[in-house]
A and B are shown apart, each in its own frame.
Chain A
């Protein structure tokens, strides 16, 4: 059997983040797509596949194709929540291996912070009718149910959840684009308003606007691109439930399946990984994911992240942009995990180069006390979680 035709991430970009009333979901995705293609040294007409997730249209992939003037030969509108984009990378890689496409464009955009559109009450339909009428705030309430069970089963403490937010904030302090960069302590997290017990406000991700784009190319094209390709070594996805009521075990996510599958495909073990980008919708998401991925035993994730292990300067750098907790979280965050992992594996943050060409706000110098570049990073694990711990997808990326 001939070796499989490899795929690599060759361009990444964010659009404007934070609060962006001057943007629409279309302009965000178009500007991010333009920047990601420009970084790769590719043009629009090189793109033969479009991958889009979002709830803003009956068919985001069709609408965005028209807007961008694309005539893709391959369309994928897979929407499994915040983990959609890791799945898109997997699907694009499979299509490249199969020889169906050469260059895939993956995009996301949201204006949720600017919109502040509270959805008008509408009747609960289909399976919603057994959950929504009880008034549980979503998605935070579902994650709170998982957190309560986790604390109960393992005797873990809210301080250990808070440690995840503190670690993220320390990385955010090194990221000029992060929404919150001021120092944060465990006590600050515990003193922030309670939302759904045991989750405080600072256990919850941000609500921001923002968009992003990723270009994935077949290895035949790598010689043409302007960046150092970041190779897709493994990928896998799954779902365990839709509503939190039907999550088989509130302390084990689909990462227990997609993680080993992606790592097996890549042929890497836990100790091989240099950097982790783990979806942090809530602090509990990270603890459950680390355990389900097998980085530590069930109930031990709190001890695992203790002492700054995943913070700047720690042994296992995680969420090196500040994460959904401190950097940005425009509804579906998964694309930003991939953007950050790619930049880390290209060593973009060496010597103060933030890897975003053309964005002059980026050239702040990093504050003393840490550097964002993970020294010598060769292998990254990217893990998305969607819905209410409902779907997961894992991608292993490697420096070429």
Chain B
């Protein structure tokens, strides 16, 4: 099972996921959204970052359908992994739920759906997405 070593920097993010919310940071200097969590803005190197809750809406930038997968994920193929551009302007890697081969296209609109991918009780809750509007 791929667990997650939550650390001091990522804890607010994972606390948000546990509450069904996607929490990102925003730089007070350049106003751009930041993901993954950092102590410095990767755009302007400003050091003042505030947490906010994203809408959970985004667009598929790219995707792949995995037909082979290692370890615990082998039994889940075929499954869709995508890069999603959130409306707030950051990109995340994620799983597209309820989708198989041929179901996802670039530019499809997707929405956050927090879910566990593993059957184990300690399988982490993850920010997954579902297609809400096909491309």
Residues of A within 8 A of B (CB): 118, 121, 123-127, 129-137, 141, 144-149, 152, 193-199, 243-246, 250
Chain A residues near B55 (CB-CB < 8 A): none
Question: Is B98 in the interface zone, CB < 8 Å from A?
Answer: no
Chain B residues near A133 (CB-CB < 8 A): 2, 4, 117, 124, 126
Question: Is B53 in the interface zone, CB < 8 Å from A?
Answer: no
A130-B36, A243-B93, A245-B83 are known contacts. Are A136 and B4 too (CB-CB below 8 A)? Answer: no
Chain B residues near A124 (CB-CB < 8 A): 2-5
Q: What is the number of contacts between chain A and chain B, taking CB atoms within 8 Å?
A: 111
| Contact among A123, A127, A135, A194 for B81, CB-based, below 8 A | A135
Instruction: State in angstroms the CA–CA spacing of A130 and B101 once bound together.
Output: 24
A196-B68, A197-B64 are known contacts. Are A135 and B79 too (CB-CB below 8 A)? Answer: yes
Chain B residues near A125 (CB-CB < 8 A): 5, 7
Chain B residues near A126 (CB-CB < 8 A): 5, 7
Chain B residues near A127 (CB-CB < 8 A): 36
Check A136–B93 contact: CB distance below 8 A: yes
Check B67–A194 contact: CB distance below 8 A: yes
Check A134–B126 contact: CB distance below 8 A: yes
Chain B residues near A137 (CB-CB < 8 A): 66, 68-70, 73
Check A129–B70 contact: CB distance below 8 A: no
Q: Can you name the residue of chain B whose Cβ is closest to the Cβ of A135?
A: B73
Known: A130-B35, A130-B36, A243-B93. 5 other contacts (CB 8 A): A129-B4, A136-B66, A194-B67, A195-B67, A195-B68
Q: Can you name the residue of chain B whose Cβ is closest to the Cβ of A201?
A: B68
Chain A residues near B5 (CB-CB < 8 A): 123-126, 129
Check B2–A148 contact: CB distance below 8 A: no
Instruction: State in angstroms the CA–CA spacing of A243 and B91 once bound together.
Output: 11
Instruction: State in angstroms the CA–CA spacing of A118 and B69 once bound together.
Output: 12
Q: Can you name the residue of chain B whose Cβ is closest to the Cβ of A120?
A: B71
- Closest chain-A Cβ to B32's Cβ sits at a distance in Å of 14
A136-B93, A197-B64 are known contacts. Are A129 and B72 too (CB-CB below 8 A)? Answer: no
Question: Is B95 in the interface zone, CB < 8 Å from A?
Answer: yes
Instruction: State in angstroms the CA–CA spacing of A145 and B96 once bound together.
Output: 14
Determine which residue in A125, A144, A243, A245 has the highest number of CB atoms from chain B within 10 A of its CB, and name it.
Answer: A245
Check B106–A149 contact: CB distance below 8 A: yes
Chain A residues near B3 (CB-CB < 8 A): 121, 123-124
Check A197–B101 contact: CB distance below 8 A: yes
Instruction: State in angstroms the CA–CA spacing of A146 and B61 once bound together.
Output: 10
Chain B residues near A130 (CB-CB < 8 A): 10, 35-36, 92-93
